[in-house]
Every structure is written in structure tokens, then in C-alpha cells.
A and B are shown apart, each in its own frame.
Chain A
Amino acid sequence: MSRAFHRPRYVSILSVIGIIWSLLSFLYVFAPAVKKVGIWFPAVLGLIVAARFISMIGIWHMKKWGIILFLLAVLSKVASAILLNQLSVVEVFLSVLLLISFLFYFNRMDNNL
């Protein structure tokens, strides 16, 4: 990797945390409580979790699309939580914190796939 796309240790740690968080969230996707919300909800939640996981991979590789995808995943999760009246302030706060942390390095990231 060229010096311009060198991954800071801070981003490495946060990406790993994000990947583990996504994998654990994936388990929750097919919990009985999620199924009760609606037939469609596990699929939507699963897509959001998958998007978050993929975005973390992208951020690990210092790709801009990683941050953009993470932002979309966070917005989708917040929108679905608001629609279902299940907004978790802690989760939103953590997501926003992560997003802001990554945005500091946005200009240093690669444009390509």
C-alpha cells in the first residue's frame, strides 16, 4: 500500500471493533423478537448489518466507499428504528462516534474499488 493510503493504528482498531460488532449483530438478525416485527424485517436488518460489515472491510483497506457505505448503513438503521419506534440512543451515539472518527481520514483514503 502506498504511503498515501497507509492505515493508521486508530482506524485498524476501530475497524476490527466494527467487524466484530457486525458479526455479533448478524446473530441478532434472526432472533425470535426480530421475526415478530414483520416478515420483511429480518431481511432489512440483515442487509444493514451486511452493509456495515462490508463498509468496515472497505475502511480497513482505506477506501472511501467504505465510509460512504457505513454512513448509508447508519442512516438506514436509524430510519428503520424510528419507523418501528425502537430507536436506541446508545447505538446511534456509537455509530455517529465511529463515523466522525473515520471522517478525519476521509481525504487520505483511496477513491478506487
Chain B
Amino acid sequence: MFRLPPAPASCRLMNINCLILRQTRCMLFISLFKESIYFALTALRVNRLRTVLSLLGVTIGIFAIIFVFTALDSLEKKLRDSVASLGDNVVFVQKWPWTFGSEYPWWKYINRPQASEEELEFVKHRLKSAEAAAFEVSAKHTVQYENTSVENVNLIGVTQEYEKVSSFELEEGRYFAESESVGGRNVAIIGSQVAEALFPNGVALGQQIKVFGQKVNVIGIFKKQGESIIGNSTDTEVLLPVNFMRDYVDVKKENANPLILVKAAAGISNAQLKDELTGIMRSARKLKPTVEDNFALNETSLISKGFDGIFDVVGIAGWFIGGLSILVGGFGIANIMFVSVRERTNQIGIQKSLGAKNYFILMQFLAESVLLCLLGGLIGLLLVFIGIQVAAGIWDIQLTLTSANVILSVTISILIGIISGFIPAFSAAQLDPVEAIRMN
């Protein structure tokens, strides 16, 4: 056993002795820690069936919580990406407001007039806090190319400034020229899914498709966006000049869903834009001061807020179920640790009689409990990963396991291991060595 030399009178030598003692204690602690891990791994390996059954509770709990959080995070990200494509600094002037909830007072809005191109011109001339404004109508119709047709395609009719207010990218081709928009020329930009459906083996750009029975030249193809939660993916859209579309669709009717899009100028908030827009629209519609607005100014934050409530409820449900499951799993771990302590009481007595300190016995059993829970957590994570692959393969649902959720699952596993293993470990550490050796 290591013996320190007797401390001499000089202070310098005293300090050196303290340093050596500290370093020795540190190395001792590290070696004791390593031994605890070794003991824990041996114990888990010896009783494999018991190990597997014990960690099932933690595995199921971690799987439940992390899978729900993963699904929610992925859905939330998809929603935010979809909403971002609409533009978070764009205000939509429409008849119907975007509100969510069970009580939607539709009778207040049903007699409101639709947005019109004349109002767009009025707004553009007077609005100072906007970068650009555009008019949009939409309709669903069939699009054809030779013998191939795609039904229920979203036809969007827009004015020239649409490219400034909406964020989209073109894979090939170009946007409408000013003359094409003003003249209502028969040109179109088609979505990637429409292009794939109509031209599976060929090139779509420069071809002529049929829309409303008329030949239309394809001048551009949208970049593939993927599925959108709010249904505004350009993949299934065909963009046309509104002046072309008005010959086939009544742009003043509700069926066409006419709306005005206004993009805020740099440094202008949506609230400021809405304030100015309210005044200008009221002026355009000649509303008296005592009369309520007969138009809605919508923004993308309303969509996010509407879904926040749903995500919160699902998140809380998943957390509650998973949390209870983990807690029950923790009780199971604690139970098994008590059994483990009881089984090894003799061994503990021998260790203590040979000089093992209380903290070493405590560390031994705590390490076993934490390792058990960590193993359960990792298996739970593996099950989440498998679940994600199954969801992607069978239902084509893309989920992403984020690093935040991985860290959360590891943290929960370690904590439940510490909490559930501490009482048995502490009781083991308090055992009297003589009584422990005597016990069968």
C-alpha cells in the first residue's frame, strides 16, 4: 500500500505532498470508477434475461416519447417550410379570414365582395410601405399533352409582379415577360409533377400543352418542392397570365378565389403594412368610419398559430403517456436493483471487510442501474429509427430524428438510472460488513 513520507517542516515540501495526495486520490477515483463499470457490465451480462426484461419499461417509455417528439418536430418543420414558401412578410387581401376553431362566423363574411384588379391598382398607387403587389386567381382544370392528360391541376392566374411577392424557384426556363402578362399571351410555367406526368420521357420546356382547350407554350418549369402540408406546393401547379385566364374563368366570382398579395418593403413590419392597407382598402371600397371592414388581411403567422394548438395537444399527450411509461420502467429498474443488492449482500460484505469504502459500493450499483437504463434508452432510440424507416417506406412519410431528441433520450435514460438506482445503491452502501457476510 502506498505510504506518504512524513511531512517535513518546510512549506514547499508540504505543498508537494498535498499535490501527490490529490493526484493519487484522483487516479484512485478513476480506477474505482472503471472497476464499477466493469462490475456493472459483468452483472448485466451474467443475467441476460433479467437485463432484457428490466430494460423493457425504459425502452417503451423512451420509444413513446421520442417517436411522438420526432413526428411533431418533422411535421412542424414541414409546416414552417410550407408557410415560409408563402412568404412571412406578405399580406393576403381576401374575402375570408384565416381563423381556426370550432366557431367560425361565416355568416359575417359571406356577403363580402371579392378582391379585384381595380382594387389592386388603387392599392399600388397609394401604398407606400409595400415593395410589390400582385393579383391572383385560381381554378382546377385538366391539362393535356397529346394523348396524356392530368386532371385537377391547380391553374393559377397572376399579374406580372407575382414573382416579386411569391418565393418560387424555376428549374428551367423563365418567368413571364411584361408583354406576355399584359397581353394575356398563351404561355405557362408548369410544376415538376405536371411536367413528369405529361412528359415522362421527354423535355417539357418549349412544348405546347392544352389548357381550357387552348394551346399554351411551356416557358418554364418550377423546381421540385415536395408535398406541402397546406397544399400550396408548386409541383402540381400551372402558372398562367391572369389576362389569359380571364377569358375562361370569371375572375370576379368566388370560384376563382381572387386575392391580392402585398409584400412589405424592407424594414416595414406586417403590422405597419396592415395598418396602411386597411385604410387604403376602406377608401377603395368607400366604407364609412362606423362600418366594419368588409375584407380580410391574412398573413402566414395565422396558419402557424392555428397549427400550434394542435401540436401542443399532441405533444402533451405523447409526453404524458411516455413519461408515465418511463416512470413505471424506473420502478421496475429499482425493484431489480434491490434484488441485485440482496443477491450480492455476501459479496458486499467481503468487499467492505477488505477495505472498500461506502462510495465505491454506491458507485458500483449506481453504474449498473445507469448502464441498464442507458441500454434501454439506446434500444428505444433504435426502435424509433426503425419506425422512421418503416414510415418512410410504407406510407411515404418523411420523419427526421434530430440531435435534440437524441440528447433528450440519453439524458432521460441516465437520469432515470440515477433516480431509480440510488435508493438500492445507498442501502447497499450502508450495509454492516459483518451482518452482510453472515447473510445467506
Contact = CB atoms under 8 A, between A and B. Distances in A.
Does A associate with B in a complex? yes
Interface stretch (A7-15, A46-54, A88-96): A46-54
Interface of A: 22-23, 26-27, 29-32, 35, 39, 42-43, 46-47, 49-50, 53-54, 57, 61, 112-113
Contacts of A27: 320, 323-324, 327
For the complex of A and B, 8 pairs with smallest distance between CB atoms: A32-B315, A46-B415, A43-B411, A113-B358, A27-B323, A39-B404, A50-B418, A50-B415
Interface of B: 65, 69, 72, 312, 315-316, 319-320, 322-324, 327, 357-359, 362, 403-404, 407-408, 411-412, 415-416, 418-419, 422-423, 426, 429-430
A57 B428 CA distance: 14
A32 B319 contact: yes
A53 B417 CA distance: 13
Contacts of A61: 426, 430
Given A35-B69, A43-B411, A113-B429, 7 more contacts: A30-B323, A32-B69, A32-B315, A39-B408, A43-B407, A46-B412, A50-B419
Interface hub of B315, B357, B411, B426 (most chain A Cβ within 10 A): B411
A49 B416 CA distance: 11
Contact of A42 (B312, B411, B429): B411
26 contacts: A22-B419, A23-B419, A26-B415, A26-B416, A27-B327, A29-B412, A30-B319, A30-B322, A30-B408, A31-B316, A32-B69, A32-B316, A35-B404, A35-B408, A39-B404, A39-B408, A42-B408, A43-B407, A43-B408, A46-B411, A46-B415, A49-B415, A53-B419, A53-B422, A54-B418, A113-B358
Say what secondary structure dominates the interface of chain B: helix
A35 B409 CA distance: 12
A35 B408 CA distance: 8
Contacts of B322: 30
The listed residue with most A CB atoms (<10 A of its CB), out of B72, B403, B422, is B422
A110 to B, nearest CB: 10
A43 B69 CA distance: 16
